[in-house]
Structure 1
Amino acid sequence: MKRLLAALLCAAGFAAAPAAPAQTLIQHAPGRQVLSLNGRWNYIIDPYENGFYDYRRMAFDQSKTGKGGYYDNAKPSSRQEPELIEYDFDQSAGLMVPGDWNSQDPKLLYYEGTIWYKKSFSLKPAAGKRYFLYFGAINYEAHIYLNGKKLGMHKGGFTPIQYDITSQLNATGDNFVVVKADNTRHAEEVPTINTDWWNYGGITRDVFVAEAPETFVVDYKVQLAKNDPTRLAGYVQLDGPAKANQAVTLNIAEAGIKQTLKTDADGRATFSLPAKKLKLWSPQSPKLYAVRLSSGADAVTDNIGFRTIQTKGQDILLNGKSIFMRGISMHDENPLIPGRARGEGDLRMLLTWAKELGCNYVRLAHYPHNEAMLKLADEMGLLVWAEVPVYWTIAWENPATYQNAEAQLSDLISMGKNRASVVVWSVGNETPLGDPRLKFMTSLVTKARSLDDTRLIAAALELHRTPDNVVHVDDALGESLDLTSFNEYAGWYWGGSPSEITKYTFDIKYNKPVVISEFGGDALAGYHGDAETRWSEEYQEALYVNQLKMLSTIKGLRGMTPWILADFRATRRQHPVYQNGFNRKGLISSTGVKKKAFYVLQDYYRQMATKYDGK
């Protein structure tokens, strides 16, 4: 509400809206000592939200007593004087967490609304310790309660949620957490009502309680200074009662770097150090260093890589060397076991497929992906385009919508700022032209640059075609960005058959590197015909052959992420024979079969690797 009020009071524009300070997300939270709350949670389906509102539609948690909602986890007090309680978590069915509800129960496949989750756990708080309840993601609006008391509400289906629960834990060690998860779509939310992916509901990423000393390292950024491979720059932030004027030690033993810093009154210590001995991270050599940060009773170790990324004219320079970004787009979804990716095994499989394709780069569309995905990309040597779900037609003139988008962008950057793999922050996808949209999007660009000036900023721009078969890229948003990126679907949504694709040429306004963010077409794996038979593997194969010919004529082409690595669920895709609820543009089917187009792109990427990497 504070963010909304601040936005409504702001008359000078989105960028000038003062934001209320948010609780700092714990950097590398899974690396702390944690109590996992993954596993079976009891659940109650609540489409009328009976567990949240009374019959007058008044929220129970806003009443004088704060009682009456399902979050009470109530039981009748006795058999002689029973209370009327019309729910019982302990007798209810279970859902596995992490995991969406749609793929775990057939009756929930299309469900949009409220589901209540409850988990009991044992944790007896120790003196001198602090405890944080951490959710990797809940889609979309989450109300979170501990031991019957509300911790807070969070909007955004793909960013972490964190609460300090030290004072709310029961001294006996018996605790329970209740979550109201609601994946209902709304026009003013981010994303908005209309998307082209499945609206998976529920607690979709890891849940745990992280333990820390009373004063601890809550946040840090340890990266190379902007465009300077010889200097390490960043900060360390302490949180707690003794955060001011404290010694903080940065130690990268393998590189011979050790420096003791002193925090200021706000608990922050900034640094800029020589770093000439660091071996730089790259897809060919994804070197990671154990970086240890310590202060008093606290220490945290994170595996971090170091590299520079910049543009020069129409070149993208990684560590000062021109590269071609051989990429693929992907969703946070396991096609083999329907539903959101549930853990490292699912994520590693997706990135292994990308590596087999010949990629050095992945676009994690169209929302923030699991933090574990970024760490795997670091380890496996894959560059990353990371994105927020400002997608299609957002409520551009609603200040609360902007504040929501900015908060999600800030959380994404916080989550990924120490990952060498992340080289692009994307502020949106296929957003329609107009002044309100331009104001909204350029404000996000400004925010991203204020949070991180060491990475490239991009978005999938709009384009238009003229009768002379020219594709024009002159979206005014492109002025603010580092890359010229756009989605084009010649041969599928426009432009005739695959054989007609090569008639198109491009008129691109900006003298910047061109990275094609999407192209492609659907194919049902195992369905065969000739190159003119829509939905066949041969059609998709011919489309890729001719797309690559057409795109290779673009002088500044420096990368691409075709749409998409694997088939994925999408409610919009209704054809009962070829789609059946799936977008079939994947190069790999929903059963793991590689389609013919996979090998076309793989061969092209081998050629580009030889040209740019000498392989």
Structure 2
Amino acid sequence: MREKHGLNGWWKFQVDPKDQGEREAWYKNGLAEVRQVEVPHIWQREEEYVQYCGTGWYEKQFAPMEIPPGKHVYLCFGAVDFQARVWLNGSFIGEHEGGFTPFEFDVTTYMNKGDMNRLTVRVFDPQDNAEIPIGKQGSWYTRISGIWQDVALELRSECFIRHVHILPNIDEGHVETRLVLSADPREALTIEYAVMDHGNPQHKQPIIHEVISGAERKAQHIIPIQDEILWTPEHPHLYDLIATVRDEGGAVIDEISTYFGMRKIEYKDGELLLNNRPLYIRGALDQGFYPDTIYTAPSEEWIQKEISLAKQMGFNLLRKHIKVEIPSYLYWADRMGMLIWAETPNVVKWSEQSRQRFHNELVGMIDRDFNHPSIVIWSLYNEEWGLEWDLANDTEKQEHVKKLYDEIKQLDPTRLICDNSGWIHVKTDINDYHRYFVLPEQAEEWKSDIDDYMVGNPEKNFVAGHEPQGQPIIVSEFGVWGLPSLQKMFEYYGGMPSWFQNLGDDTHREDFKSPLMALANFEKYQLKRIFGDFEQLSICSQRRMLRAVKQLIEEMRKRPQISGYVVTEFTDIEWETNGWMDYNRNLKAGFDRASNFNGSLIVMADQVKRNLWSGEEQAWDAVIVNNDLRNLDGVLHWKIANTDVRGSIAIHEGEKGFVRLTDAIKFAVPPVPKASFFTLKLTLELDGEVVASNEEELTLTPKVQMPPLLVCAYGMDSRFKSSLETNGLIVVDQLEAPALVITSRLDDTVLDYYRNGGHVLFLAEEGDSLPEKGQFTFRELTEGESWDRTSSFNYVDSSYFDDLPVHPEMGWEMEGLFPEYIVPLSNYNKLGGTVGRVVYMFGNEGIVETSQVISGYFQGWIGQAGASMLIQRSAEGSLTLTTWKLKDHYGKHPIATQVIHSLIAKCTVKEEA
């Protein structure tokens, strides 16, 4: 094998903000104002350089080395971001641009034979990065600059093996090797291949000899694999391959070692197949950022732990999002059986130069990572980033994407290609979607989006003139935020981390993306009164996140037309907190049980009505998803905990991947003393062992009438009035008589009544559509798919409704009742007109000084805030405003009914007092 000398370790480093180093020949004179840094090095890890863009210089001295006759010395860089110019002993040896892929120089003639060698590297990372592949570093999160991967010297022959790409063929039981030499050989050479189990030379298979003539630089060979063992996520078997080149006399010219796995990935009739068996992707978006090291994993042990945690949570794939992942991560993915979806960092601007740079990184990634069996999908583009978001209408860009697809498919026919992840497709092997909905608020919208758009009309996800050809449907981005523990964060960093001020660019500076906003707004918007401290808020936020992603995933898994999903995302990254783990890799609350809905074998209830009256008759389906095709011969048990309601069903379904048991869960809702939370529990037993379990949140409510109180339903419709009477209340028409006025019309008459000591319940759920709403303005929350809204959080002071089952984070008890409007407390934007121009709107922070906020809404780090229930008081009266959707659900929905009754009771008690 080749002799290698590592150059990692301590280097001199100096920033050059005026870019004077090359003019002043620092490469000859040496660096002056230096600090010692450890390479691999990202200069943004240094607090004073966290926002520095421009030029930095590195210098390393190393001892002379013996160079045997006929050998050359190559200086090899794993990756330098972005442009590197390199000198050795004062002589310029070359330059390279591109921040993610390896490069090298032949430095044989520049090496000192007896004296120390001095290596100098000028790294330039421009502030204007629109035409360079960056991914999200420097745009969404902390920027990356410097020599951030390994540096080494390697001895090679004049003619050496550039690479060996290995193409497995499991159906024929062989691999095809594509070997490329560095130069045309001057003589006939012999190439030998030896194959063995990974790390086990005792299991060496026969050596294959092939002769390559003197004029050939490339060679292809077929190598049979005896008794092949397939690579799968469950059994990730690897083979080592040693390639040896000998001259005419039999002497070894070059020898390298690589490894591969026998696996096959394809699609057929809308289904993914791994090794000719159905594959269902259960993936997570992984952007590969780290709290200390930013863009490189802190250690191999860290990587192994991450992959183990991913598998424990039920994942079988990580989508390495617009980042060329470091080689050690891919190695452990191969070793541990984690599928990888790889994609190139994007550019922003559409130009000839940016396209060439992008192409260089894409091909460089594939060249470097070709033999990793874990990689099953290459992405070309993500959401048209680099295509300037006009692929649907721009035929030049469409032709560019098709040509690039064809090129990469020819370069690597062993993997699937996604042309434009998440958005409209041109030529692709994957029909994937990025769809962001928040649940429970948008539960029905999510179901409709799946059924009527993604599954029902997949052709809508292709440009005009192109139709789907049986590509598998994958929802490759979706997710919901869950705020991390600030206490754990500050303990980890020993204080506030630098990224709390948001180190992304100006396109990501909205208030809800700044962690500093949470510190400023937690008390201002009365959250301290409701939650006590931020730790309790983060726990509630994480519970809400778990509830949301569980149902998002289960709705997809109930539809076998979908071939998988990739949740956003694996871990938090700086200000973006939609990870199932926080930035420091702590599991968020409840995600230790994520495999209950994210595992290969799960059981679910379907068509569940979550808020029930005592005495109702119910019949729900049970669904079993069996990705591993286990033999389903067992028993399904179900029960409503803390009641006598339960049942069991014998199952004899064989090796089916999807089973629906219609009306498997039938019961009458039992009597309960008061409205309370209950849990439906499901367990699946196979061979006497519980192999899957799940839970659903319910509320059960008795029908209880109100005392015969006088209320005025001012301007309300006859149905609402009738429901009040049915529930025991006395409805009158005179505004002066009752203890309480219930209305959706805040006109002068009602306001005078309030100011004169009356109590008003203002049902303002229609927001700005109300013709008379007094001094209040409203903000309509975004309908349909919305990335911003998935960061949102609806909350309530549950102690105000201490007699009702209401979660502080507002869960399934609020199904159908979530507000569509809020009273805005902070400024916000909306899109207006047919061209979607931004309209700047204003909130009223003063409301928190004049009102008691009972429930509210915010996005992200307590930005974009609003109130959905508040109380204002006159000298003796009160005005309770709510935008909860109660009016039409009163008398029908158990919780809506109880909330109205609770609000009436609180107002009338105050009146009597």
C-alpha distance in 2, partners of 1:147/1:258? 43
Q: Which runs of 5+ in 2 are unaligned?
A: 197-202, 247-251, 460-467, 487-530, 603-624, 631-913
C-alpha distance in 1, partners of 2:331/2:285? 18
Computed over aligned residues only, the root mean square deviation of the Cα atoms, in angstroms, reads 2.9
Give the letter for the 1:261 counterpart. E
C-alpha distance in 1, partners of 2:302/2:123? 23
Match of 1:93 in 2: 35
The answer to whether the aligner puts 1:291 opposite 2:241 as a matched pair is: yes
Summarize the alignment of residues 197-276 of structure 1 with structure 2, pairs less than 5 Å apart.
197-225=141-169, 228-239=171-182, 242=185, 244-253=187-196, 254=203, 256-264=205-213, 265-275=215-225
**CA 1:122–1:568: 2 relative to 1, 3 Å:** same
C-alpha distance in 2, partners of 1:366/1:353? 22
Aligned mate of 1:612, from 627, 633, 641: 627
Match of 1:592 in 2: 585
Higher mean C-alpha deviation, range 348-357 or range 499-508: 499-508
**CA 1:545–1:176: 2 relative to 1, 3 Å:** same
Q: How big is the shift at 1:338? A: 4.8
8 Å contact from structure 2 (residues 98, 133) kept in 1: yes
C-alpha distance in 2, partners of 1:244/1:586? 57
Q: Secondary structure at the match of 2:551?
A: helix
Q: How big is the shift at 1:388? A: 0.4
Give the letter for the 1:351 counterpart. I
Match of 1:57 in 2: none
Match of 1:48 in 2: 18
Q: How big is the shift at 1:300? A: 1.9
8 Å contact from structure 2 (residues 165, 178) kept in 1: yes
C-alpha distance in 2, partners of 1:191/1:537? 31
C-alpha distance in 2, partners of 1:248/1:154? 31
Q: How big is the shift at 1:602? A: 2.6
Give the letter for the 1:416 counterpart. D
Q: How big is the shift at 1:417? A: 0.9
Match of 1:458 in 2: 418
**CA 1:536–1:192: 2 relative to 1, 3 Å:** closer
C-alpha distance in 2, partners of 1:237/1:220? 6
The answer to whether the aligner puts 1:519 opposite 2:478 as a matched pair is: yes
Aligned mate of 2:544, from 539, 542, 549: 539
C-alpha distance in 2, partners of 1:525/1:222? 43
C-alpha distance in 2, partners of 1:600/1:608? 13
Match of 1:165 in 2: 107
8 Å contact from structure 2 (residues 11, 37) kept in 1: yes
1:460-498 CA distances to partner (integer Å, 9 max, x unpaired)?
5454xxxxxxxxxxx242xx1111122221129xx9556
Summarize the alignment of residues 285-364 of structure 1 with structure 2, pairs less than 5 Å apart.
285-296=235-246, 297=252, 298-335=254-291, 338=294, 340-364=296-320
C-alpha distance in 1, partners of 2:146/2:35? 15
Match of 2:449 in 1: 504
**CA 1:245–1:210: 2 relative to 1, 3 Å:** same
Give the letter for the 2:155 counterpart. E
Q: Secondary structure at the match of 1:504?
A: helix
Give the letter for the 1:437 counterpart. K
Match of 2:701 in 1: none
Q: TM-score, normalised to structure 2's length? A: 0.54
Q: Secondary structure at the match of 2:626?
A: helix
Match of 1:64 in 2: none
**CA 1:400–1:554: 2 relative to 1, 3 Å:** farther
Match of 2:4 in 1: 34
Match of 1:277 in 2: 227
Higher mean C-alpha deviation, range 600-609 or range 308-317: 600-609
Q: TM-score, normalised to structure 1's length? A: 0.79
- Give identity over the alignment, percent: 24
Q: Which runs of 5+ in 1 are unaligned?
A: 1-30, 55-67, 75-86, 464-474, 570-581
Q: How big is the shift at 1:611? A: 1.1
**CA 1:614–1:73: 2 relative to 1, 3 Å:** farther
C-alpha distance in 2, partners of 1:533/1:346? 25
The answer to whether the aligner puts 1:389 opposite 2:350 as a matched pair is: no
C-alpha distance in 1, partners of 2:205/2:586? 47
**CA 1:600–1:486: 2 relative to 1, 3 Å:** farther
Q: How big is the shift at 1:342? A: 4.5
Q: How big is the shift at 1:343? A: 4.5
**CA 1:543–1:123: 2 relative to 1, 3 Å:** farther
Give the letter for the 1:249 counterpart. E
Q: Secondary structure at the match of 2:43?
A: coil
The answer to whether the aligner puts 1:486 opposite 2:429 as a matched pair is: no
1:393-418 CA distances to partner (integer Å, 9 max, x unpaired)?
x322x222111111111111111111
8 Å contact from structure 2 (residues 482, 538) kept in 1: no
C-alpha distance in 2, partners of 1:382/1:255? 26
The answer to whether the aligner puts 1:430 opposite 2:400 as a matched pair is: no
C-alpha distance in 2, partners of 1:417/1:306? 13
Query: What is the number of residues matched between the two proteins?
Result: 525
Aligned mate of 1:562, from 540, 561, 567: 567
Give the letter for the 1:592 counterpart. R
Summarize the alignment of residues 566-581 of structure 1 with structure 2, pairs less than 5 Å apart.
566-569=571-574
C-alpha distance in 1, partners of 2:328/2:120? 25
Q: How big is the shift at 1:153? A: 2.2
Match of 1:466 in 2: none
- Flag the structure with more relative contact order, 1 or 2, with Cα contacts below 8 A and sequence separation at least 6: 1
1:286-305 CA distances to partner (integer Å, 9 max, x unpaired)?
11112111112222222321
**CA 1:301–1:146: 2 relative to 1, 3 Å:** same
8 Å contact from structure 2 (residues 236, 334) kept in 1: yes
